[in-house]
Amino acid sequence: MSRIPLQPLQNFVTAARLGNLTRAADSLNLTVSALSHQMRQLEERLGYALLQRQARGVRVTPEGQRLLEQVGPHLDAIAQALQPFGARHDRVLSVSALPSMASNWLVPRLGSFVACHPEIEFNLESSERLTDFERQLQCDAALRVGAGQWSGLHVEPLFDEWLMPMASPSLVERMGGLGALPLSQWPLLGDPDGEWQRWFASVGEVAPSRYVAMLNDSESHHRAALDGFGVALGRVTRARLLLDSGQLIALSPHRLKTRWSHWLVYPPRSSTHRGFLAFREWLHTQAAEHARHMEALVG
């Protein structure tokens, strides 16, 4: 027997599972007559009946049931394996970003992109994991923080990240107001990376030998500062909304550039994705506006 094409077998599995040729034909985008013709040809090649027509649908014969049990799981596995390789549509765009970057910077701006491009279905994956574009074929781009060295990808700078000392209005009031005491005498929230030492060195001062608490991530610093627990050396990108709303106050105009910057990265395949190209242009505009705001904030 010559090799049987997969499509008639897939159509048989669909018809057998649904038990109705009309519903099966609709799901396969075929006419009922075309599906019936395929089933007859398949039965002729195999030499036995697969489906028995009844008044209300079809019933699988014993031979058809054996074929369904043998072939069905393999066709399901093939469909699952091929799913990541499905054609990408210009109107579907998937972008990955760190949760903090997504919630504090990208999402507050995203409404303007969606308003300008209502035809694009935008999918945002908020994850701490680094996107593997070779495996995650449905992801078109990512917003990353680092030194900009990711081989095999297009890498475009967005903006630098800066640190500034910031505290809640309640803490500022308890300390007697801005400038009442040297910053080294405020309750500082320490970090394991030694950024306070770098900041004090950049302004020509000596960092304190102890801190009110040691916290190991920027979100905890911002949260503790909001609660009036102490002074955070906050990341301006993540804290900008809090600074703009007055929930946090910058205690010094001096800012310190971090060792890492923000980048847009994407695989070569995204270069022809029209939805991504529209997002890329919009994103760079937003990044430039953010950089200008940073200059005004410390100017």
Q: Given a cut of 90, is residue 106 above it in pLDDT?
A: yes
What average pLDDT does the segment 24-41 reach?
88
Q: Given a cut of 90, is residue 54 above it in pLDDT?
A: no
Residues 6+ apart with CB under 8 A from 73: none
Q: Given a cut of 60, is residue 229 above it in pLDDT?
A: yes
Bridge pairing between strands 154-167 and 141-146? unpaired
pLDDT tier at 179 (50, 70, 90 boundaries)? confident
Residues 6+ apart with CB under 8 A from 125: 94, 95, 96, 97, 131, 139
What pLDDT, on a 0 to 100 scale, did the predictor assign at position 249?
Answer: 94
**Residue that is written with structure tokens 């102890």 in the block:** 210
Instruction: Give the helix/strand (H/E) hosting 76.
Output: helix 62-82
pLDDT tier at 83 (50, 70, 90 boundaries)? low
- Cβ-in-10-Å burial (0-12, 13-18, 19+) of 26 comes to middle
**Residue that is written with structure tokens 């038990």 in the block:** 19
What would the DSSP string read from start to end of 115-148?
HH-TTSEEEEEE-SSPP-TTT-TT--EEEEEESS
Q: Given a cut of 80, is residue 1 above it in pLDDT?
A: no
What average pLDDT does the segment 108-112 reach?
94
CATH no. for 161-259:
3.40.190.10
pLDDT tier at 180 (50, 70, 90 boundaries)? confident
CA 294, CA 287: separation in Å to the nearest integer? 11
**Among the CATH numbers 3.40.50.10070, 2.60.120.920, 1.10.3470.10, 1.10.10.10, which is that of 6-85?**
1.10.10.10
Q: Is 0.85 topped by the overall pTM?
A: no
Backbone dihedral region for residue 228 (phi beyond 0: left; psi -120 to 50: alpha; all else: beta): left
Q: Given a cut of 60, is residue 87 above it in pLDDT?
A: no
State which of 73-87, 138-152, 202-216 shows the largest mean pLDDT: 138-152
92-157+267-298 has CATH 3.40.190.10 classification? yes
Tens-digit pLDDT profile for residues 246-295: 999 999 988 898 888 999 999 999 998 999 999 999 999 999 998 888 77
Question: Residue 139, Cβ neighbours under 10 Å: how many?
Answer: 19
Percent of the chain whose predicted confidence (pLDDT) is above 90: 49
What pLDDT, on a 0 to 100 scale, did the predictor assign at position 194?
Answer: 83
Mean pLDDT for all residues in the chain = 88
Percent of the chain whose predicted confidence (pLDDT) is above 70: 96
Question: Which range is least confidently modeled, 56-70, 72-86, 120-134, 214-228?
Answer: 72-86
Token pair listed for 213 = 């608490």
What pLDDT, on a 0 to 100 scale, did the predictor assign at position 114?
Answer: 93
What would the DSSP string read from start to end of 182-243?
-GGGS-BEE-TT-HHHHHHHHTT-PPPS--SEE-SSHHHHHHHHHTTS-BEEEEHHHHHHHH
What average pLDDT does the segment 28-55 reach?
89
What pLDDT, on a 0 to 100 scale, did the predictor assign at position 6?
Answer: 86
Instruction: Evaluate whether 299 touches 255 at the Cβ level (below 8 Å).
Output: no
Q: Where are the domain boundaries for CATH 1.10.10.10 in the chain?
A: 6-85
CA 16, CA 22: separation in Å to the nearest integer? 12
Q: Where are the domain boundaries for CATH 3.40.190.10 in the chain?
A: 92-157+267-298, 161-259
Q: Given a cut of 70, is residue 181 above it in pLDDT?
A: yes
What pLDDT, on a 0 to 100 scale, did the predictor assign at position 298?
Answer: 53
What pLDDT, on a 0 to 100 scale, did the predictor assign at position 141?
Answer: 96
